[in-house]
Amino acid sequence: MLIVPCPNCGPRNSADLRYVGESRPRPDPNSTSTEEWRAYLYERANPAGMLRETWYCRSGCRRFFTLERDTVTNEFTNPPTPVAKLGKRP
């Protein structure tokens, strides 16, 4: 069981949230190349170590935020960062 520190609701069971996935900058679909767009869609870093990831607090504050977690020990290290535009995926 993973306890996720939500910036608004405090520590919550991961079942209360939705895991969005690795946080990556989204290229502008209007100007990006096909290769870059596909890399954004499919490729994953999938590190065994620190990973910046996006969560959505679906049964609490219903906000998106990013966190840093060690994927080997499952420990969160840095305080959560709310995603700048509320409701919009990074």
Partner 1 sequence: MKRRPPRYSAVRLLSRGARKSVWPRVWREVPLRDSYDAVVIGGGVHGLATAYYLAANHGITNVAVLEKSYLGSGGSGRNTAILRSNYLTPEGVVFYDRSLELYRTMAVDLNMNVMFSRRGHITLAHSDASLRTMHWRAEVNKLQGVDSSVIGPAEIKQLAPALDTSSHPRYPILGALYHPPGGIIRHDAVVWGYARGADALGVEMHQKTEVVDIVVTGGDGPGGKGPGGRVTGVRTSRGDISAPVVVNCTAGWATLISDMAGVSLPISTRPLQAAVTEPVKVFLPVVVVSGTLHVYVSQTARGELVFGASVDPYNTYNIRGSLDFTEGTAGHLLELMPGISRMRLLRQWAGLCDMTPDYSPVMGFTPVEGFLCDVGWGTYGFKAGPVSGEQMAEAIATQRTPELIAPFSLSRFESDALVGEKGAAAVGH
What is the contact surface with partner 1 in residues (CB under 8 A)?
Answer: 1-2, 13-15, 18-19, 21-22, 35, 38-39, 41-48, 51, 53, 71-74
Structure tokens at 27: 């290229």
Which residue's CB is nearer to partner 1, number 30 or number 73? 73
Least Å from the CB of residue 40 to partner 1: 11
Which residue's CB is nearer to partner 1, number 9 or number 76? 76
Is residue 54 within 8 A of residue 66, CB to CB? The reply is yes
Which residue's CB is nearer to partner 1, number 29 or number 85? 29
How many C-alpha atoms does 36 have within 13 Å on its Cβ side? 10
Is residue 55 within 8 A of residue 4, CB to CB? The reply is yes
60, amino acid identity? G
Least Å from the CB of residue 25 to partner 1: 16
